[in-house]
């Protein structure tokens, strides 16, 4: 279903893509929470939320984008990295940097849009 959501997002059907991503989040939070460790679940949540933020950006819904990015960053920060390999840690760190950069950009966009209304 992740691939379906990605393809749908690329075809500019953001509403459908967001629906698929939300469904995936619900599944990961319920089923995988029991079957996998916290590290895997939080990493998956962060990636899905990051993808959702990109869809919101394409829809110019910057408030929703910011919310998704902040939730993704919280998911990353909750990861227990004590048993991670250096490659896994590097991947998570790269995602955290991307998310942090997008948060800064999104906040700036929101501020600019706010001033445009004045």
Q: What does the pLDDT look like over 55-91, one tens digit per residue?
A: 999 999 999 999 999 999 999 988 877 778 899 889 9
Provide the number of structural domains found in the chain.
1
Structural domain containing residue 46: 2-116
Instruction: Say if pTM beats, i.e. exceeds, 0.85.
Output: no
CATH number, position 76:
1.25.40.10
List Cβ neighbours of 46 (8 Å cut-off, separation of 6 or more): 72, 73, 75, 76, 92, 95, 99
- Mean pLDDT for all residues in the chain: 84
3-state secondary structure of 86: helix
Which is nearest to 28 in space by CA: 40, 11, 15?
40
């Amino acid at each position: 279903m992740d691939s379906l959501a990605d393809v749908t997002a690329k075809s500019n059907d953001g509403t459908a893509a967001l629906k698929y991503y939300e469904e995936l989040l619900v599944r990961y939070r319920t089923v995988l929470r029991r079957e996998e460790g916290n590290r895997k679940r939080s990493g998956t949540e962060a990636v899905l939320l990051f993808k959702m933020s990109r869809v919101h950006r394409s829809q110019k819904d910057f408030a929703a984008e910011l919310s998704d990015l902040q939730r993704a960053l919280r998911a990353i920060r909750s990861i227990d990295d004590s048993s991670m390999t250096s490659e896994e840690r590097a991947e998570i760190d790269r995602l955290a940097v991307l998310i942090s950069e997008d948060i800064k950009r999104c906040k700036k966009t929101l501020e600019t849009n706010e001033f445009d209304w004045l």
